[in-house]
């Protein structure tokens, strides 16, 4: 891997259509900003249309010729996911890249519209269902890929299959770790299944290290002065945090199954590199069981 890979090394993305979930702020917006500037048609898949429109305006101010569209998507609602996929299929005939970026972190105990614990339901099950809904378009688009954004928290996560809904006890960070481990297991298991089916589409996982984004404010967008100070000192910027996503999205030499993260100490900061922790994180038996549980809970079965 080249030393200090950055956005200047991204090839022209003209002709590509890229969906980014959770792209009205933070990592998602930073990722969208760069890809739109490189010529891709970018769809901001967001829960709040007003914030999405503001993000699109921000991108267009920087890149006057940017091709950006905003579409409504609430990953905490299976009905919304189905509506988004149907609306996307009506407007588009291909999909080059799906970036599963959106996430919630350590909220108070809540459930999604479908009764799933909020973090597992949004961060994992929402993206599992969305990917499945859009997979036919991905499979028919040459050199397409699915990029799923994990977290350093996945390293210490475990899937508690007996308490996925939190009804037997809930701890915010433990359930966040679980949801992000699920993201990584999903990405790797998806690649295994795509390869088994002989598909050209690939699945790649990545994580931003520790980046200063709104997710660290439990989704409220509010940060104290002390937190802002600490974030500037200890965390890397959203722009740096987006580089692993951009690498996973654009580097032509990837084969699928890779895990991309920062190259600094503890993978907390730095430029994109291969994060070998996935070799310890990925347990084929757990990943297979997670896939089957996700299939049952969402009612969505993949067609390769």
CA pair distance 119, 42, nearest whole angstrom: 26
Question: Edge to edge, what strands does the sheet with 259-262 contain?
Answer: 67-72, 41-46, 17-21, 97-100, 145-149, 202-206, 259-262, 272-274
Short-list 281, 257, 255, CA closest to 267: 281
Please give the structure tokens belonging to residue 158: 């475990």
Place of tokens 């996925």: 164
3-state secondary structure of 122: helix
CA pair distance 142, 272, nearest whole angstrom: 25
Place of tokens 């690498």: 247
Burial class, 301, CB count within 10 angstroms (exposed 0-12 / middle 13-18 / buried 19+): exposed
φ, ψ dihedrals at 43, nearest 5°: -105, 120
Active site residues: 176
What is the three-state SS of 130-193?
Answer: HHHHHHHHHHCCCCCEEEEECCHHHHHCCCCCCCCCCCCCCCHHHHHHHHHHHHHHHHHHHHHH
Place of tokens 């609430």: 74
Please give the structure tokens belonging to residue 285: 């038996």
CA pair distance 166, 178, nearest whole angstrom: 11
């Amino acid at each position: 891997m080249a030393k200090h890979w950055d956005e200047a090394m991204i090839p022209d993305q003209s002709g590509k259509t890229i969906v980014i979930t959770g792209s009205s702020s933070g990592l998602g917006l930073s990722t969208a900003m760069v890809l739109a500037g490189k010529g891709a048609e970018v769809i901001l898949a967001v829960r709040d249309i007003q914030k999405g429109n503001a993000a699109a305006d921000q991108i267009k101010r920087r890149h006057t010729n940017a091709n950006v569209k905003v579409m409504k998507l609430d990953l905490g609602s299976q009905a919304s996911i189905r509506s988004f996929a149907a609306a996307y299929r009506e407007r588009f005939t291909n999909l080059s890249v799906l970036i599963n970026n959106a996430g919630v972190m350590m909220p108070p105990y809540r459930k999604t519209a479908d009764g799933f614990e909020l973090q597992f339901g949004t961060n994992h099950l929402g993206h599992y269902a969305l990917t499945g809904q859009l997979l036919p378009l991905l499979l028919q688009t040459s050199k397409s890929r699915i990029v799923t954004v994990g977290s350093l928290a996945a390293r210490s996560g475990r899937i508690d299959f007996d308490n996925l809904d939190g009804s037997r006890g809930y701890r915010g960070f433990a359930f966040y770790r679980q949801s992000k481990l699920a993201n990584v297991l999903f990405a790797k298991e998806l690649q295994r299944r795509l390869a088994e089916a002989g598909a050209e589409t690939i699945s790649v996982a990545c994580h931003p290290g520790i980046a200063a984004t709104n997710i660290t404010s439990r989704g409220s967008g509010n940060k104290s002065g002390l937190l802002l100070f600490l974030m500037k000192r200890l965390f890397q910027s959203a722009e740096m945090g987006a580089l692993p996503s951009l690498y996973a999205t654009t580097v032509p030499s990837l084969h699928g199954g890779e895990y991309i993260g920062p190259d600094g100490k503890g993978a907390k900061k730095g430029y994109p590199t291969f994060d070998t922790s996935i070799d310890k994180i990925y347990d084929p038996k757990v990943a297979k069981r997670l896939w089957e549980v996700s299939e049952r809970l969402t009612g969505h079965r993949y067609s390769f």
